[in-house]
Amino acid sequence: MSGPDQDEEGGTVAEADERGTDGLGRRLSALRARAGLTISALAAAAGVSQGLVSQIERGAGNPSYTTLIKLADALRVPVGAFFDGSEDAWEPAAVVRAGGRRRLSLSDEGLVYELLTPSLHGRLGMMRAEIPPGYSNALAPHRHEGEEVMLLLEGALHVTVGGKESVLEAGDAITYDASVPHRFHNKGTRPAVIVGAMTPPSF
């Protein structure tokens, strides 16, 4: 049984902090309202507790990546809908400053995604991610429409697409059909840093 400081997927539940859990809660609440769902209906559709959904919306909890995928699937939105920051209007040359990237920080002990494109509404999306040592999303492989290429900048990472596992080292890149379930496992002792591009941007 999870203690009071964990969600159902084992992620730490902390008070709203600099990672923006209050902002995540507001976005979840807005998406739920747009879908016309009550908290209990969303919880049932996602297979999580009503209390957890309520806690996240209040900004008192930071869900694990697995929980976020379940909520996104229940709301029929991409996980990228939970990125913080406002949607910037498309420009012919849009600059995203290093300190102004939209972020998605989760409770998986340091899992952080940063959007390198202004939004996910163009024809191409790019992001940077830090995957902490020991992290694995084997329990919730990701899948979405499109094609992805991922370049490993630092560390080492095991990437499994369908039933095929590849071990990437710094400088290696992998391209795959994102509609095929894919998962990552950092078996190393330091973070794996990646830059990924996807078309269409459907993270």
- Please write the tens of the pLDDT for every residue from 68-105: 888 988 998 888 888 765 555 556 678 889 988 888 87
Print the domain residue range for 43: 21-82
Q: Which residues of 162-193 are buried (b: 16+ CB within 10 A; e: fewer)?
A: eeeeeebeeeeebebebeeebbbbbebeebbb
Task: Give a yes or no: residue 59 inside a domain.
Answer: yes
Average pLDDT, the chain: 83
Q: Do 131 and 76 have their domain in common?
A: no
Residue 78 shares a structural domain with residue 130: no
Do 153 and 127 share a domain, yes or no? Answer: yes
pLDDT of residue 6: 39
Q: Residue 143 class from Cβ within 10 Å (0-12 exposed, 13-18 middle, 19+ buried)?
A: middle
pLDDT at 8: 42
pLDDT value at residue 4: 33
Instruction: Please give the tally of structural domains in the chain.
Output: 2
Flag whether pLDDT at 10 surpasses 60.
no
Q: Identify the residue with better confidence: 69 or 50.
A: 50
- The CATH number given to whatever domain includes residue 156 is 2.60.120.10
Domain-located, residue 193: yes
Which one is predicted more confidently, 163 or 60?
163
pTM above 0.75, yes or no: no
Three-state secondary structure call for residue 44: helix
In a domain? residue 9: no
**CATH, residue 37:** 1.10.260.40
